[in-house]
Structure formats: structure tokens, C-alpha cells
């Protein structure tokens, strides 16, 4: 029946050995305005991190560029020594020149400095998942990939991931390292990377959508709000639930600087969308959005 509830897997195993709950937490928003400097409410940021673990979240995504440095420092302050099952993923490959400014630099020299800083700030000897934040058009991709291969061989990182990449770039990277995750912008209203999601699903690669709530498309928001009424939920909660139902390799990392919003996001895991509702939401993204 069309209105039968659907189910989804609650966990996903990254790289064959890191099993995490599929609702994670993105730690970009615990910094200042423009993802620059310290948060306006430092104590609330610490509470958010502590509460995330209390809720059962065991996958936290961050980057050296968030702050810069601030996000990683707060994670260590709030959670170190870390719970045994907590997976912290971080990224390198961007510079910060000011609020909302993100120049790319994936040269090995910069990446080495970024990685060493992340290890120190996070108080780790090895990072579970290290992600290339962006492919640098000014640096030969092979040179960056050789660096990622090297740091894995050195034992500084366990697994390697990529961000904002096409299938061809994933395939190229796989010539050097085992790619275990891809982090691309994706939401119910932005399906630009649908082909990449499907490739990742077929090859058991985690797909981590950033900006998972999207926003701005009136038709999509109206449909989300309509479905939300059926579940006594919010449109944003339904958008997150859709992602969990949509593909089993999707890991969610919604970000917030408020405990209240964190808890609301987490409640999306208890929403069971019907096949009819899934069909309606899937149909909204039939034509990929460019940009």
C-alpha cells in the first residue's frame, strides 16, 4: 500500500570498520558569524557538543577552517578524552582570509600544516576520517592525492574522504587511496550530485550531504510542510528524514549552535515516512538543480 511506512538502516559502517549512527553532527556552526572567530555563546557551544554525544550521535564532522581552528578546539575541550565509539572527521584544503571567505589551497605543504594542526587541536594521534575539503584547480590533483596516500601510509589518518567532487574525480582518487566518503552539497531540493550519490551507493562509499536542509524553493517547502503536519513535525525534520530514507549510505551532519535545535534535528530519526510521501518528495528532485 502507498501509505505504508518505510524503514531505513540506523547505522552505516565507514571504510568497513567505523560503524556510526547515520544522524551525525556538523560542527561548523559552533564558531562566530561568518564561520569566523569564537562563538557568541561559548558555553552553549560546549553544551551542544556534550548533548550530541548524550543523544547517541557518534559521528562529528569538522574542519581546520571552521573558525579557523575554533571548531576543533571546542570539540577537544568538550569531549576529550573521547568516547570509544566516537568518530571525528575533519577536513583540510581551505584557507581563511576573513568571515565567509574560503580560498582553496590543497598544496601538500599547506595540507601537511593543516593536518598537523588538526591532530594537535583535536588531541589525536590519528584522525579516523580525513577529507580533502576541495580539489584545488591550481595544484595537480595527482600531487594532492599523493600527499593523501602518504599521510595514510604514515599512520596519521585511518581513512580518506573527498568533498565537492564528480564521479571522475572519485575514480581518479581511487587510483591512489581507498575513498570511503564523499561530502557534497545535497538536499531534497538540490539533486545536482545525484549521479555521485548513486556511484557512492554502488561502491559502499559514505555520502555526506552538506547544507542538507536546503531552503528557498517554495514548492519544496510547501510539500515538506504538508508532510510534516502528518507527523507532528517540522519541514526541516522531514527534510532530514527524507535523506535517511533516500539512500542507505547517506550520513547526516546538520549543524547548529543551539541545544534546542540539535534535539529537534535528532528527532528526525524517529519519523517514518510512507512510500507515498517518499514518492512525492523524490519527485520534487526529478530535474537536477544547476549551480
Query: C-alpha angle with apex 14: 190 to 165, nearest 5 degrees?
Result: 40
β-pair partners for 91 = 131
Query: C-alpha angle with apex 289: 285 to 291, nearest 5 degrees?
Result: 160
Backbone angles phi, psi at 245, to 5 degrees: -75, -30
Q: What is the DSSP string of 66-125?
A: TBTTHHHHHHHHHHPSPPTT-EEEEEE-B--SSTT---B---HHHHHHHHHHHHHHHT-S
Please give, one letter per residue, the 3-state secondary structure of 153-207.
HCCCEEEEEEECCCHHHHHHHCCCCCEEEEECECECCECCCHHHHHHHHHCCCEE
Quote the distance between the C-alpha of residue 58 and its chain's center: 13
Q: Is 140 helix (H, G, I), strand (E, B) or coil?
A: coil
Active site residue 186: no
Query: C-alpha angle with apex 66: 250 to 251, nearest 5 degrees?
Result: 5
202's grid cell: 554502488
By DSSP bridging, strand 25-26 and strand 18-21 are unpaired
Q: 8 vs 243, 247, 266, CA distance in Å?
A: 10, 8, 15
Catalytic one among 25, 66, 130, 266? Answer: 66
User: Which helix H or strand E contains 146, and what residues bound it?
Assistant: helix 141-153
Residues forming the active site:
66
Amino acid at each position: 500500500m502507498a501509505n505504508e511506512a518505510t524503514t531505513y538502516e540506523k547505522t552505516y559502517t565507514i571504510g568497513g570498520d567505523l560503524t556510526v549512527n547515520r544522524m551525525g553532527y556538523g560542527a561548523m556552526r559552533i564558531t562566530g558569524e561568518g564561520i569566523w572567530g569564537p562563538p557568541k555563546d561559548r558555553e552553549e557551544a560546549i553544551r551542544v557538543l556534550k548533548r550530541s554525544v548524550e543523544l547517541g550521535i557518534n559521528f562529528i564532522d569538522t574542519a581546520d577552517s571552521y573558525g579557523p581552528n575554533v571548531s576543533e578546539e571546542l570539540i577537544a575541550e568538550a569531549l576529550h578524552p573521547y568516547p570509544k565509539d566516537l568518530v571525528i572527521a575533519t577536513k583540510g584544503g581551505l584557507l581563511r582570509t576573513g568571515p565567509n571567505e574560503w580560498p582553496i589551497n590543497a598544496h601538500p605543504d599547506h595540507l601537511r600544516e593543516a593536518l598537523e594542526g588538526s591532530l594537535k587541536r583535536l588531541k589525536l594521534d590519528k584522525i579516523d576520517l580525513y577529507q580533502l575539503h576541495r580539489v584545488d584547480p591550481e595544484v595537480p590533483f595527482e600531487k594532492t592525492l599523493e600527499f593523501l596516500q602518504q599521510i595514510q601510509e604514515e599512520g596519521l589518518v585511518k581513512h580518506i574522504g573527498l568533498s565537492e567532487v564528480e564521479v571522475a574525480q572519485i575514480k581518479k582518487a581511487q587510483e591512489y587511496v581507498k575513498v570511503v566518503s564523499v561530502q557534497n552539497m545535497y538536499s531534497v531540493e538540490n539533486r545536482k550530485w545525484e549521479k555521485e550519490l548513486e556511484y557512492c551507493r554502488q561502491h559502499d562509499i559514505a555520502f555526506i550531504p552538506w547544507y542538507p536542509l536546503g531552503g528557498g524553493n517554495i514548492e519544496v517547502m510547501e510539500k515538506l510542510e504538508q508532510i510534516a503536519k502528518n507527523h507532528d513535525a517540522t519541514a526541516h525534520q522531514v527534510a532530514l528524514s527524507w535523506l535517511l530514507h533516500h539512500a542507505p549510505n547517506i550520513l547526516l551532519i546538520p549543524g547548529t549552535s543551539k541545544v534546542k535545535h540539535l534535539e529537534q534535528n535528532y528527532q528526525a530519526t524517529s519519523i517514518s515516512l510512507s512510500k507515498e510521501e517518499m514518492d512525492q518528495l523524490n519527485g520534487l528532485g526529478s530535474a537536477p538543480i544547476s549551480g
